[in-house]
């Protein structure tokens, strides 16, 4: 049956943003069905009977988008009417995932849309799965940016996110014979119904060239940058819907193109590929997220990406401010620019350049405006993540910016000399230019000096910033570092990905728990209630069955839902210690073989995560996990006591299935190396109990859930420092640990690589002699703690702790984090 709606009625619905909530549910469903059918005809250009599932997805998304747009207009108009200060969030990553179910949940339209779509004969779950993940990020950094954008909209903070519209996001991971292989991820292959191309928002981005000094009698000399390359940035906007649909912000992503699409004279001469070389060079900037930086060309492209999106974003911000206020000197009162990690650090010299060269503001005023407007979030203490760039590369690509950085550094070092006196070591440590091993620009230092606030992302991380990597800068500018512990949006990571648990929480805590997560505390009185425990366990089992079915279908591995689902899902990196987990699996495997009749707890060990394409050791660890899984899963002596699963191509959608099904959350990084973590929060919120080190936000999670409801092991951060000072040789540890010695001996004998006995020799060698990440040093304590997990598993005590993890996680909402940013850093009101 074809539903019809009068043009007059349709026009009224489009113009009145509050029309749907005023309708009865049946009327809302009818309106949605009519709109979807119209989109099939008018957008897909097809008769309904010939529409495929992708056509139905596009029609549903556009129907919802129409609804969102009017609320977006209202939000933006209210911001302009009140002259509200805006937040601009600059991030090289936004791991936003699928938007259909996210927007439906936040608009309170999930029920009517599901009914409408299924009334039209379409399976809603199948339609939802058509949407590709927008994989514009690598892990926690990008997912945090997405959570923050959603929270800013939910709290009605006028904000705009800025990033790059990568044609291919983080690579698509395929595991072939246990090895990671990388393929282009093609999220835009069939179009993106959520975005609006802004063909009228185009900015020139320039590179290279040289500087001219213009001397004027009696005046300060002026510098003119004469670039030799210009490309263009084109804006694409995606609406980000807040909770209950009350406020909508925008995520603006930039795509790169050449000024001229091709050289026609070159094309006509027969060089057809050469004619398009300029376009290819320009488009490379927004082609891939994180191109390999193993080559000089790759490093140059990475720097071009960072400057490209920073320059386009700042030009846009200044244009907006001039339109609404007219005076750039008032910028700090009307705008707050947050740098998400070191990637956008070029915002400091670029904002200075624009203010001075384009708008003719003097140095002192420009520097004052810049530092009062910009703030910087540091996400890591790892040296490789605190970017540095060769001065030579800067001089060739961004000569004006290097010139500005030098001048900032002169003033900055003058301040340092007054503060430190003759202490040249301290002066060198705070310099924006690292003079050791070749001159390099320190991007973390640049962001620090050019910002009025610098925050860490967990209490421990912020304190380590003060004590280690930024110790001297903190001494010089003692009031700049503050802490803002990360959070997650409960809308996606509870309400959306675990609807049955959400319903149970509403039943136990009242419907208001959806708006007031603090009400989760009411679960504490039910944590020992047998009836409530039974309901809680039943939901967890349902989620585990769903994951087990996927594992069986995709990998042919039988995962018993009654077994302990032990999960480590995160980027593959040596400091995150997937290797420690894998080594413990081998030790457990050997222990079961030695005592097959022992009282062993059945476990399914689940891994997921991607290794950087050039990170050989991380990719070898993936192969090691898969190879030990191949041996263990096919060993009949083990029965179903131990299974190992590596789920490839980990993304937000995969996490939404794995997280609700998890029993044990592996957060086992080397102490002092994880800034915060947010996976630990998502898993605990869904009832997984954490096993982890005292690192990152694990410390604060332990404080909130109670030490008896979390499993902590391993060396502490100060003990890690002392152990490393003794050297990296772990032969003493191995000699005192028969289990660890047995694992290493099995690796060296090729038990898990019979086709290539030497394959995992680098892993064994690192465990013996290069134990920088303290895998060997922490092994025995980790193994003991895992056996303590076995003792408590599948008991009322386990369920009690699991419920208390949910009950005590409200503080880890990204809404709380954003409120703290708003009050302490941005100085913006919160709804």
Q: Catalytic positions, please?
A: 379, 570-571, 576, 678, 682
Which ranges of 477-568 would DSSP assign to H, the alpha helix? 490, 499-509, 530-555
Contacts with 509 (C-beta within 8 Å, 6 or more apart), sequence order? 519, 520, 522, 523
CB-based burial of residue 283 (10 Å sphere; 0-12 exposed, 13-18 middle, 19+ buried)?
middle
Of 782, 759, 763, 783, residue with least CA distance to 771: 763
Two tokens, residue 196: 């609006």
Strand partners, 591: none
Q: For residue 442, what are the β-bridge partners?
A: 388
Coil/strand/helix, residue 333: helix
Q: How far apart are CA 589 and CA 747, in angstroms?
A: 13
Q: How far apart are CA 588 and CA 742, in angstroms?
A: 11
Q: How far apart are CA 35 and CA 19, in angstroms?
A: 14
CB 44 within 8 A of CB 38: no
Q: How far apart are CA 316 and CA 311, in angstroms?
A: 9
Sheet containing strand 689-692, strands side by side: 642-647, 603-608, 564-569, 664-667, 689-692, 711-712
**DSSP H stretches of helix in 595-751:** 616-633, 652-658, 679-685, 698-705, 717-725, 731-735, 738-749
Question: What secondary structure letter does DSSP report for 274?
Answer: G
Give the C-alpha separation, 640 to 400, whole Å: 64
To which residue do tokens 């910087």 refer?
376
Q: What SS3 class is residue 583?
A: helix
Element (H, E) at 738: helix 738-749
Token match 């025995």: residue? 780
Are the beta carbons of 29 and 115 closer than 8 angstroms? yes
Q: Dihedral sign, CA of 681, 683, 687, 691?
A: negative
Rounded CA gap, 417 and 560, in Å? 65
Distance CA 240, CA 161 (A): 9
Per DSSP, the three-state class of 70 is helix
Looking up tokens 């679960």 gives 523
CB within 8 A of 239, min separation 6: which ones?
Answer: 65, 68, 69, 72, 194, 248, 249, 250, 251
HSE (CB half, 13 Å, CA atoms) of 68? Answer: 32
Gyration radius (Cα) of the chain, Å: 28
As a whole number of angstroms, the distance between CA 724 and CA 746 comes to 26
How far is residue 40's CA from residue 100's CA, in Å, rounded to a whole number? 17
Residue 791: alpha-carbon gap to chain centroid: 35
- Please answer whether residues 162 and 90 qualify as being in contact, where contact means their C-beta atoms are separated by less than 8 angstroms: yes
Pairing of strands 196-207, 229-241: antiparallel
| CB contact set of 434 (below 8 Å; sequence gap of 6+) | 388, 440, 441, 442
Q: Would you say 188 and 283 are in contact if contact means Cβ atoms under 8 Å apart?
A: no
CA dihedral 398, 428, 421, 474 (to 10 degrees): 80
Beta bridge partners of 175: 180
Which uninterrupted H or E stretch holds 88? strand 86-90
Q: In 208-247, which ranges are E strands? A: 210-214, 222-226, 229-241
């Amino acid at each position: 049956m074809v539903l019809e709606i009068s043009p007059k009625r349709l026009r009224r619905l489009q113009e009145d943003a509050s029309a749907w909530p005023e309708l009865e549910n049946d009327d809302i469903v009818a309106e949605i069905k009519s709109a979807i059918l119209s989109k099939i005809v008018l957008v897909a250009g097809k008769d309904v009977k010939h529409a495929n599932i992708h056509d139905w997805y596009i029609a549903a998304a556009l129907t919802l988008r129409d609804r969102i747009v009017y609320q977006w207009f209202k939000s933006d108009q209210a911001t302009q009417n009140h002259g509200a200060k805006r937040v601009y969030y600059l991030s090289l990553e936004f791991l936003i995932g699928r938007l259909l179910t996210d927007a439906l949940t936040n608009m309170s339209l999930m029920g009517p849309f599901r009914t409408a779509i299924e009334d039209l004969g379409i399976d809603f779950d199948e339609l939802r799965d058509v949407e590709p993940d927008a994989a514009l990020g690598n892990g926690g950094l990008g997912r945090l940016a997405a959570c923050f954008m959603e929270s800013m909209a939910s709290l009605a903070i006028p904000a705009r996110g800025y990033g790059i519209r990568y044609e291919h996001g983080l690579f698509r991971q395929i595991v072939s014979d246990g090895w990671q292989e990388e393929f282009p991820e093609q999220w835009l292959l069939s179009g993106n119904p959520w975005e609006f191309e802004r063909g009228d928002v185009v900015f020139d981005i320039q590179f290279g060239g040289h500087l001219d000094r213009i001397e004027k009698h009696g005046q300060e000399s002026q510098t003119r940058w004469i670039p030799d390359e210009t490309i263009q940035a084109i804006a694409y906007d995606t609406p980000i819907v807040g909770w209950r649909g009350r406020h909508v912000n925008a995520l603006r992503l930039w795509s790169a193109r050449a000024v001229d699409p091709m050289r026609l004279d070159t094309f006509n001469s027969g060089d057809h590929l050469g004619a398009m070389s300029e376009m290819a060079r320009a488009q490379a900037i927004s082609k891939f997220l994180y191109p390999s930086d193993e080559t000089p060309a790759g490093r140059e492209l990475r720097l071009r990406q960072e400057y490209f999106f920073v320059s386009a974003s700042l030009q846009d911000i200044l244009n907006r401010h001039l339109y609404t206020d007219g005076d750039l000197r008032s910028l700090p009162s009307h705008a707050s620019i947050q740098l998400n990690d070191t990637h956008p650090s070029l915002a400091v010299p670029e904002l200075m350049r624009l203010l001075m060269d384009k708008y003719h503001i003097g140095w002192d005023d420009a520097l004052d405006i810049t530092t009062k407007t910009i703030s910087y979030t540091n996400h890591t203490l790892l040296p490789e993540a605190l970017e540095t760039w060769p001065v030579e590369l800067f001089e060739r690509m961004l000569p004006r910016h290097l010139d500005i950085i030098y001048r900032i550094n002169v003033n900055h070092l003058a301040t340092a000399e007054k503060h430190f006196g003759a202490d040249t070591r301290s002066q060198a440590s705070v310099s924006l230019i690292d003079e050791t091993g070749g001159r390099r620009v320190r991007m973390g230092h640049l962001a620090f000096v050019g910002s009025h606030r610098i925050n860490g992302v967990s209490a421990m991380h912020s304190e380590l910033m003060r004590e280690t990597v930024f110790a001297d800068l903190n001494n010089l500018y003692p009031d700049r570092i503050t802490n803002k512990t990360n959070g997650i949006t409960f809308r996606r990571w509870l309400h959306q990905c675990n609807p049955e648990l959400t319903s149970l929480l509403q039943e136990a805590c009242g419907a208001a728990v959806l708006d007031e997560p603090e009400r989760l505390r009411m679960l504490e009185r039910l944590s020992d209630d047998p009836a409530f425990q039974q309901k809680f366990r039943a939901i967890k089992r349902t989620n585990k069955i769903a994951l087990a079915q996927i594992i069986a279908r995709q990998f042919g591995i039988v995962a018993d839902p009654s077994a302990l689902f032990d999960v480590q899902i995160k980027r593959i990196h040596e400091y995150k210690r997937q290797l420690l987990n894998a080594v413990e699996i081998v030790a457990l495997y050997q222990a079961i073989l030695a005592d097959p009749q022992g009282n062993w707890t059945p476990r399914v060990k689940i891994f997921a995560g991607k290794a950087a394409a050039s990170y050989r050791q991380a990719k070898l660890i993936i192969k090691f996990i898969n190879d030990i899984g191949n041996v263990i899963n096919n060993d009949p002596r083990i029965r179903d006591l131990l299974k190992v699963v590596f789920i490839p191509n980990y993304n937000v959608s995969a996490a939404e299935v794995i997280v609700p099904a998890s029993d044990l959350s592996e957060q086992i990084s080397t102490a002092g190396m994880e800034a915060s973590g947010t996976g630990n929060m998502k898993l605990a919120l869904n009832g997984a109990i954490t096993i982890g080190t005292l690192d990152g936000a694990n410390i604060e999670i332990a404080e909130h859930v109670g030490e008896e409801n979390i499993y902590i092991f391993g060396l502490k951060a100060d003990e890690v420092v002392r152990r490393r000072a003794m050297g990296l040789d772990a032969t003493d540890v191995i000699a005192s640990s028969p289990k660890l010695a047995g694992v290493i001996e099995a690796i060296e004998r090729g038990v898990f690589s019979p086709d290539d006995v030497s394959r995992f020799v680098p892993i064994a060698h690192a465990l013996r002699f290069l134990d920088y990440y303290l895998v060997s040093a922490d092994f025995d304590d980790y193994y003991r703690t895992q056996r303590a997990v076995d003792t408590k598993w599948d008991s009322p005590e386990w369920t009690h702790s699991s419920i208390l993890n949910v009950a005590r996680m409200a503080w880890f909402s990204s809404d709380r984090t954003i409120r703290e940013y708003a009050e302490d850093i941005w100085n913006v009101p919160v709804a």
